[in-house]
Amino acid sequence: MTLFSAEIVSILLGLLLVGSCACLYGYLREQQRLRAEQQLSRRLAFLNKIQGLAVSTFDVEEMLGMVAKEIRRDFGHDYVGIGVVRSHGKDKDKQLEWQAEAGAASRLLGKPIPWEEGILGRVAREGISVLLQNGEPELLREGLLDNSRSRLCLPIRHDGVMLGVLDLESLQPNAFRTEEVEVFCTVAGYLADALQNATVFHRMQEQAIMDSLTGLKTRGYFSEALRAELKRAGRTGHPFSVLLLDLDNFKAVNDTQGHLQGDHVLAELGKLLDSHSRRSNVVARYGGDEFVILMTEATTEQAEAFAGRLRSWIGSEPAFQKMQVTASFGIATFPFHGSTPEDLIQAADSGLYASKKRGGNCVSCAKPPRSPEELFQGKWAQGLERGNPDLLPVNDLVDMPG
């Protein structure tokens, strides 16, 4: 006896099939939703990590290096590179300096890329994004990665100002999905904020250690450098010298020609001292029209010779000659004139006072302590007074390597 007719059985089977398809469709939709959530979670975690790296340090090279490695680790693209714009004034003098790389073509680090050159130059000049996915001839010709088949170049901009370029390349065609491009655009935004913050930080740091009028280091910076050099010289046993100088007749310039002209004299002197000093020297404005130079690994004789040359350069400068401005110098050398910052500055200042007392436009240095026991104790400085006869004048110096 048949319980169901063939028609009913057919209907039931159809309903069962529809129900199964609906369940399967629901299952697939749920799996798709879960995968999308997982992908979104990974994307957000990645962006959160990149944002953390971008604000972890004001050392631009270190920060960009960490970001490049993290991008490659997370996405697996064959090459990641980040260049920073270096400007020398006009657009034609700008260039990209490659500061971070990760991947197979890591060979451009530290190298400049001309502003007008290739895809990277175009991205930097025009501020556009470039996506090449199918091994276009332009890509094969200009890719930083040999045999590159896909390339994404993004501008790094902050408030319309071009700061750099993010470059990603792959050996696979169609390597960059739409959602990936969106992620990397966000990364470029993070990098723009980080580079701008680093620029502001370094500018403020520079202002804190730089005298705004002369462009030289500040007295505070010099004091720190002197303490550091004392520690280093104590370990190595090498001498170093402190050269203190003060302008002669500078007060007359301010009194007769005004403080603006006086400021101009100080600014010009700052340029002269900086341009004629070794890179290892620390040149600072000590206060007013008084300047100081820390000469690393320089003996008294070398410091005297250098001071003599400076005296001649200042005396022969037309702008200074016109106002009858010259310079007086005082010199102290570690360890012969003391082993503390106070000892050395006081010895140099005493030499400077002696030069002034002799009429200016000359170089003087203090005699070292006569007693070896006093050499590293600084006791001689406690009784040192201005005009002390233990001051040696230095005249008609012969040029020696400074």
* Sequential DSSP letters for 269-319: HHHHHHHHS-TTSEEEEEETTEEEEEETT--HHHHHHHHHHHHHHHHH-HH
**Residue of 243 and 25 predicted with greater confidence:** 243
Whether the per-residue pLDDT at 63 is higher than 80: the answer is: yes
* Sequential DSSP letters for 105-125: T---TT-EEETTSHHHHHHHH
* Residues 19-48 pLDDT 10s: 666 676 665 666 565 665 667 678 888 888
* Residues 335-357 pLDDT 10s: 889 889 999 999 999 999 999 99
Whether the per-residue pLDDT at 394 is higher than 50: the answer is: no
Which of 202-211, 223-232, 388-397 has the largest mean confidence? 223-232
Report the pLDDT value the prediction gives residue 401, as an integer from 0 to 100: 32
* Residues 308-335 pLDDT 10s: 999 999 988 888 888 889 999 999 999 8
Sheet with 79-86, side-by-side order of all strands: 112-114, 95-103, 79-86, 161-170, 150-158, 130-132
CA distances (Å), 8 to each of 1, 15, 19, 45, 119, in order?
Answer: 15, 10, 16, 55, 69
Structure tokens at 27: 């299952």
Q: Report the residue count for the chain.
A: 402
* Catalytic (active site) residue 289: yes
Q: Which of 133-137, 162-166, 186-190, 366-370 has the lowest mean pLDDT?
A: 366-370
Question: What does pTM read for this prediction?
Answer: 0.58
Sheet with 391-394, side-by-side order of all strands: 282-287, 290-295, 240-248, 326-334, 363-366, 391-394
Whether the per-residue pLDDT at 166 is higher than 80: the answer is: yes
Average pLDDT over residues 273-278: 90
Whether the per-residue pLDDT at 13 is higher than 90: the answer is: no
Report the pLDDT value the prediction gives residue 226, as an integer from 0 to 100: 93
Superfamily of domain 57-207: GAF domain (3.30.450.40)
Average pLDDT, the chain: 81
Report the pLDDT value the prediction gives residue 387, as an integer from 0 to 100: 36
Distance, in Å, from the CA atom of 158 to the CA atom of 192, rounded to the nearest integer, reads 5
Distance, in Å, from the CA atom of 328 to the CA atom of 362, rounded to the nearest integer, reads 5
CB atoms closer than 10 angstroms to residue 271: 12
Contact predicate 210/194, CB 8 Å? no
Give me the residue spans of the domains in the chain: 57-207, 219-394
The SS3 assignment for 366 reads strand
**Residue of 206 and 186 predicted with greater confidence:** 186
Distance, in Å, from the CA atom of 56 to the CA atom of 252, rounded to the nearest integer, reads 52
Q: Which of 248, 289, 343, 349 is catalytic?
A: 289
Binned at pLDDT 50, 70 and 90, residue 139 comes out as low
Kindly report the CATH class assigned to 219-394. alpha beta
The strand pair at 282-287 and 290-295 is best described as antiparallel
Asked if the domains at 57-207 and 219-394 fall in one CATH topology, the answer is: no
Distance, in Å, from the CA atom of 331 to the CA atom of 314, rounded to the nearest integer, reads 17
Contact predicate 65/110, CB 8 Å? no
* Residues 77-121 pLDDT 10s: 999 999 999 875 555 568 888 889 998 766 677 778 877 778 888
Residue matched to tokens 């201005």 = 386
Report the pLDDT value the prediction gives residue 199, as an integer from 0 to 100: 85
CA distances (Å), 287 to each of 174, 249, 292, 311, in order?
Answer: 64, 16, 9, 19
Report the pLDDT value the prediction gives residue 98, as an integer from 0 to 100: 87
Report the pLDDT value the prediction gives residue 88, as an integer from 0 to 100: 54
Binned at pLDDT 50, 70 and 90, residue 122 comes out as confident
Distance of CA 99 to the CA centre of its chain: 12
Report the pLDDT value the prediction gives residue 244, as an integer from 0 to 100: 95
The SS3 assignment for 100 reads strand
Report the pLDDT value the prediction gives residue 254, as an integer from 0 to 100: 85
Rg of the chain taking only CA atoms, in angstroms:
35
Please name which of 159, 197, 163, 157 lies closest in space to residue 56, comparing C-alpha atoms.
197
